[in-house]
Amino acid sequence: MKDKVIIITGASSGIGEACAYAFAQQGAKLVLAARNIDKLKQVKLHCEALGAETLLVKCDVSLEDDCKNLINQAVAEFKTIHVLINNAGISMRALFSELDLLVLKQVMDINFWGTVYCTKYAMPYLLAEKGSAIGVSSVAGFKGLPGRTGYSASKFAMEGFFESLRIENLKTGLHVGVICPGYTASNIRNSALNKEAKSQAESPFDESKLMPAETVAAYILKMITNRKAHQVLTTQGKLSFILQKFVPRVLDKLVYNTIAKEKDSPFK
């Protein structure tokens, strides 16, 4: 990754922040994007302390113009793009029968459309470099999770988008990869939307017991290096992937029972 130009969306915390540090240690040139500019400045300082050239861009990926500006600024600064990591995302937790439809719209705008916008404007440069377009998905991208209809829909859409994109580019040299972490320690559950499209402000899990974001970042780095197309992380995630193929109705019950046990579960 030495001197490769890497764009990371959602770089102010969680997996995006961990990716920034992982690639900074590799000597990459980083373009860090997020809405939280103050937190992003702290990440930038840390990356520069590791010796990485770093460009900070305030970006709300749900806005097409912000995504276009992100790509334009990256190219103006570094002349090209080698890797785009579509990491920015938001979750939600509420029963579909009770939620405001604004919840689904906000989640789709960020998780799906944000990925589409950034990838679209980065494509000419990624194709020229035979680079990598990466999507950070989830177990919810291949198994619908109850209470998370909007989140699962957005990740299913992302998976379909990237699969089509990968097949379109079988002969162009573009690497398209999708990674599916399990529950990862991050801010995504604290900022997840409730049924009124407001932040739920509290995670239903003990975040200290979840997969560290640094572990996911290491897998993403390896995915890019090895140009791998798809990877599911964690034993639970891999087991879910297999069960979904062969006994999906059994998995339905397991998923329901697991989520019903969450703190403040919508099924209680």
| Residue 183, pLDDT score | 75
pTM score of the predicted model: 0.92
Q: CA dist 237 to 162, 214, 232, 233, Å?
A: 19, 18, 6, 6
Q: Return the pLDDT at 190.
A: 63
pLDDT computed for residue 188 by the predictor:
60
User: What DSSP letter does each residue of 61-80 carry, written as one string?
Assistant: TTSHHHHHHHHHHHHHHHS-
Could you give the residue numbers annotated as active site? Answer: 151
| One CATH from 3.40.605.10, 3.40.50.2000, 3.20.20.10, 3.40.50.720 for 5-236 | 3.40.50.720
Residue 132 carries which side chain, given as an amino acid letter? S
Cα–Cα distance list, 75 to 60, 70, 82, 118 (Å)? 18, 9, 11, 13
Cβ distance 119 to 133 under 8 Å?
yes
d(CA 101, CA 189): 19
Residue 199 is predicted with a pLDDT of 79
CA atoms within 13 A on the CB side of 194: 12
Q: Which amino acid is at 168?
A: E
In whole angstroms, what separates CA 110 from the centre of its chain?
10
Cα(209)–Cα(170) distance, integer angstroms: 39
Q: What is the pLDDT along the chain (268 residues), one digit of tens a residue?
A: 999 999 999 999 999 999 999 999 999 999 999 999 999 999 999 999 999 999 999 999 999 999 999 999 999 999 999 999 999 999 999 999 999 999 999 999 999 999 999 999 999 999 999 999 999 999 999 999 999 999 999 999 999 999 999 999 999 999 999 999 977 666 665 678 988 888 776 655 555 667 889 999 999 999 999 999 999 998 899 999 999 999 999 999 999 999 888 888 887 6
Amino acid at 188: I
pLDDT score, position 206: 59
Identify whether the C-beta of residue 179 lies closer than 8 Å to the C-beta of residue 201.
no
Q: What is the pLDDT, as a whole number, of residue 211?
A: 82
A 10 A CB-CB count for 263 gives 10
CA 31/CA 28 separation, integer angstroms: 10
Distances (CA, A) of 180 to 109, 134, 191: 20, 11, 20
Domain ranges of the chain: 5-236
End-to-end CA separation in angstroms for the chain: 48
